[in-house]
Structure 1
Amino acid sequence: MTDVLLAEDDEAIAAPLSRALGREGYTVTVERTGPDALARALGGSFDLLILDLGLPGMDGLEVCRQIRASTAELAVLMLTARTDEVDFVVGLDAGADDYVSKPFRLAELMARVRALLRRRGPTAEDTPIEVGGLRLEPAARRVLLDGTEISLANKEYELLKILLDHAGQVVSRETILREVWGDVELRGSKTLDMHMSWLRRKIGDEGPVAERRIATVRGVGFRINTD
């Protein structure tokens, strides 16, 4: 599970952004002042800090500087209403990894979040995932079934990975289409269902419905069972 700290004092931004992050499977903690965000960041084990530049009590630049004085591991995505290039440079010099200017499109921000977490190097995304005899090794991009490697096509691998990343949770069809195919407009096609059928065949998951590793949650999406 990826833990995100959201430091934003504007409820009109914090609430929908927190919900969007939660829908993507991230665990979100919200802080509304600079000192509280700094204390939480230094005292927790977060993977990403989304940091508003204009926080009360201590601005985002100072929060970022103090965090970087303590750790280089936490990814920092800065939110700023300022549009001057100098401000962006100052933010990056303070230790931010990326920035998004307000107002922003939610889809763009979520894409920046995913890209930033990927490029931070070997993190939880590279850790092997093992559920019910299935083992996925992201660093080697291979899948083993009861210890034997199986061959999956690219989309089958990505489909299995998103389900394993959220093992025990329902992953909506829209989320799968966006993350695996990059196009939610495919929701009216049979693309996802065909690939799910091929994936099930390759992992030996075509038995009685009650015994399948991958459960279909009708009208919502799919869930990979953990027991």
Structure 2
Amino acid sequence: MSARVLIVEDEAKLAELLRDYFVQAGFETDVLGRGDGVEAHLARREAELVILDLQLPGKDGLEVCKALRARGDRPAIIMVTARVDEIDRLLGLELGADDYVCKPFSPREVVARAHAVLRRLRAVPAGDSLRVGGLELQRGSRRVLVQGDELALTRIEFELLATLMEQPQRVWSRAQLLERVRGTDLSAWERNIDGHVKNLRAKLRPYFKGASPIRSVYGVGYGLDSMVLGT
């Protein structure tokens, strides 16, 4: 898999180690040691993937990620943190990152996650639409229409709804949903999915007379409610 990756890491030895592994895996690789140079660098040299450390001089990884997403830049982002408990907080912030890894890590694991994220993003066919009841989801334009009205969703809410609509009769476990929206197994944080489902339900309920088109199956997970959707 060929792609250009930008590694943003202020620990020089770690950055060089990651660069070597990505080069060996066939990636074109650039390295930056500060967060405040990322946007200018990407304006000169586009990257399909950014490995972004959380703690950076100049501008931290949170601000860099927010700035890229606010501008509409869509490189895949894998965020790196030094503390496992930070991942739970980052997931809740809805920054738009595609995956998270915690130090210390194996460089091979980071490369493997990069492949998984890029495969998932490249697999989305432009213009592919899903329709279930009054719901329409357009993957290419990343739009969701509910009974003709456009619904504003976060990235994770969009991916959750897309997953549920792909197989309307299926019930998905929390771990399966997280694997679909993140591209990697984050079962240790699977309860985070409940908050995203809660927010998605709140946005959908006004269109279905207060009922939720997403049902909970005790001890299993979530699926679409055919009774509410009228399917």
TM-score by length of 1: 0.50
For 1:9, the equivalent position in structure 2 comes to 10
Give the structure 2 partner of residue 24 of structure 1: 25
Instruction: Map 1:173-212 onto structure 2 (within 5 A).
Output: none
Cα distance in 2 for residues equivalent to 1:101 and 1:42: 28
Name 2:45's counterpart in structure 1. Answer: 44
| 1:24 positional shift | 0.7
- Aligned residue for 2:57, secondary structure, equals coil
Whole-Å separation in 1 of the counterparts to 2:48 and 2:23: 14
1:45 positional shift = 1.6
Q: 1:88 aligns with which of 87, 90, 100?
A: 90
Deviation at 1:27, TM superposition (A): 0.6
Question: Which sections of structure 1, spanning at least 5 residues, go unmatched?
Answer: 124-227
Instruction: Return the offset for 1:122.
Output: 4.9
Moved over 6 A (4+): none
Match of 1:76 in 2: 77
Does structure 2 retain, via aligned residues, the 8 Å contact 1:80–1:100?
Answer: yes
| Letter of the 1:98 counterpart | D
Q: For each residue in 1:43-81, what CA deviation from the matched residue of structure 2 results, as whole angstroms up to 9, or x when unmatched?
A: 432110000010101100100000001125210011110
SS of residue paired to 1:118:
helix
RMSD of aligned alpha carbons: 1.7
Whether the 8 Å CA contact 2:17–2:107 is kept in 1: the answer is: no
By how many angstroms is 1:95 displaced?
A: 1.3
Distance across 2 between alignment mates of 1:23 and 1:12: 17
Secondary structure at the counterpart of residue 122 of structure 2: coil
Give 1 or 2 for the bigger CA radius of gyration: 1
Task: Give the CA deviation at 1:42.
Answer: 3.8
CA offset digits 1:119-176 (Å, max 9, x no partner): 11259xxxxxxxxxxxxxxxxxxxxxxxxxxxxxxxxxxxxxxxxxxxxxxxxxxxxx
Aligned residues: 122
Q: Aligned pair in 2 of structure 1 residues 30, 95: CA closer, same or farther (>3 Å)?
A: same
Q: Find the counterpart in structure 2 of residue 97 from structure 1.
A: 98
